[in-house]
């Protein structure tokens, strides 16, 4: 069974641009969560989607948005990029929503904002 | 404010040593505490703890939760170089519509031969 895949793996953008990251969950998984990981703040929850609906949202500004498609694939968008958005963005999928112990993480997208 | 604090931030040990990693938390509506190992990019799940005093064990790794004192420890005995990684502690809370999984910043463990 293929694992969680994220594209692209690496990305360089400049301040003010926008970026879209993609996450394909494990086949059959309907829940996708997104996290931001930085050395200073650690792993922080962004949002969780289940069956195309956002279930939970972390404490991030409105520049961070996401969506989930009918095939459970999810995208995350960050608009008006800031230097502080440089981070590793991880997504995780699970069969059901709200089951942290059964989440499988993807390899992440490393975003560098210059 | 909900928070999870891990200590130490980093640790360097020799192969064969035993290490103890700490995780303390202040999270309302606690549901569970989870430990992950992050070697390169993707964290992998180690343990989930929900009840105080019950040790979870997997090979050389074990973990226990104290819900009264709000902390957990992760023990690794007879460490090997393959144990080198960042160990993350997370607390899951019962919250609707908001963040319900809070991570610590992790402990970076380096095991030298």
Dump pLDDT digits (tens) for A65-85. Answer: 999 999 999 999 999 999 999
Cα–chain-centroid distance for residue A106? 9
Contacts of B45 in chain A (CB under 8 A): 101-103
The rounded distance, in Å, linking the Cα atoms of B91 and A67 is 25
Task: Look at residue B98 in the predicted model and tell me its pLDDT.
Answer: 66
The pLDDT score that the predictor gives to residue A107 is 93
Question: Whose CA is closest to A56, among B45, B9, B42, B31?
Answer: B31
Give CA separation, A52 vs A5, A21, A55, A97, B85, in Å: 18, 16, 9, 12, 34
The residue behind tokens 């301040």 is A15
The shortest C-alpha distance from A81 to chain B (Å) reads 22
Evaluate whether A111 touches A91 at the Cβ level (below 8 Å). no
Band of residue A24 on the pLDDT scale cut at 50, 70, 90: very high
pLDDT at B97 over 80: no
Number of CB atoms found within 10 A of residue B75's CB: 15
Query: Minimal Cα–Cα distance from A59 to chain B, Å?
Result: 7
Q: What are the tokens at B97?
A: 């519509």
Cβ–Cβ gap B42/A105 under 8 Å: yes
Query: Which of B1, B41, B88 should we substitute to test contact with A (largest number of A Cβ atoms within 10 Å)?
Result: B41
- pLDDT confidence of residue B95: 76
B99 falls in which pLDDT band (50, 70, 90)? low
Residue in chain B nearest A40 by alpha carbon: B105
Cβ burial A12-36 (10 Å sphere, 16+ → b, else e): ebeeeeebebebbbbeebbbbbbbb
Tell how strand B61-66 and strand A104-105 pair up. unpaired
3 state DSSP class of A101: helix
Residue B34 near chain A (CB below 8 Å): yes
Name the CA radius of gyration of chain B, rounded.
Answer: 14
Spatial separation of the C-alpha atoms in residues A110 and B18, rounded to whole Å? 33
Do B90 and B6 touch, CB atoms closer than 8 A?
A: no
Question: Does the CB of B59 have a partner CB in chain A at under 8 Å?
Answer: no
Please report which confidence band the pLDDT of residue A39 belongs to, taking 50, 70 and 90 as the band edges: confident
Q: Do A43 and B32 touch (CB under 8 A)?
A: no
When the pLDDT of each residue in chain A is averaged and rounded to a whole number, the result is 93
Two tokens at B89?
């502690």
Left (φ > 0), alpha (ψ -120 to 50) or beta: where does A42 sit? left
Interface mutation vs chain A, best among B91, B101, B106, most A CBs within 10 Å: B101
Q: pLDDT, tens digit, for every residue of A94-114? A: 987 767 778 899 999 999 999
Interior CA angle at B27 toward B25 and B33, to 5°? Answer: 60
- CA B75 – CA B61 distance, rounded (Å): 6
CA gap B53, B15 in Å, rounded? 28
Summarize pLDDT for B12-21 with one digit per residue, the tens: 999 999 999 9
Higher pLDDT, B84 or A58: B84
Nearest Cα of chain A lies from the Cα of B77 at a distance, in angstroms, of: 23
- pLDDT bracket for residue B2 (50, 70, 90): confident
Residue A74 φ then ψ, to 5°: -130, 150
CA-based nearest residue in chain A for residue B33? A101
């Amino acid at each position: 069974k293929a694992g969680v895949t994220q594209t692209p793996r690496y990305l360089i953008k400049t301040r003010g641009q926008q970026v879209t990251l993609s996450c394909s969950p494990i086949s059959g998984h309907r829940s996708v969560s997104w996290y931001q990981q930085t050395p200073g703040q650690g792993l922080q929850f962004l949002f969780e989607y289940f069956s195309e609906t956002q279930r939970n949202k972390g404490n991030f500004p409105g520049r961070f948005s996401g969506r989930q498609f009918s095939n459970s694939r999810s995208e995350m968008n960050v608009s008006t990029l800031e230097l502080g958005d440089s981070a590793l963005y991880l997504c995780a999928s699970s069969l059901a929503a709200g089951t942290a112990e059964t989440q499988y993480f993807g390899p992440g997208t490393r975003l560098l904002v210059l | 404010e909900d928070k999870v604090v891990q200590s130490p931030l980093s640790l360097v040990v020799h192969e064969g040593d035993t290490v103890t990693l700490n995780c303390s938390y202040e999270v309302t509506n606690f549901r569970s505490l989870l430990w992950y190992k992050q070697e390169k990019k993707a964290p992998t799940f180690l343990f989930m703890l929900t009840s105080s005093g019950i040790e979870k064990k997997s090979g050389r790794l074990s973990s226990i939760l104290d819900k009264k004192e709000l902390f957990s420890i992760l023990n690794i005995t007879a460490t090997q170089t393959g144990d080198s990684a960042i160990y993350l502690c997370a607390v899951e809370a019962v919250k609707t519509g908001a963040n319900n999984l809070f991570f610590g910043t992790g402990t970076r463990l380096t095991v030298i031969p």
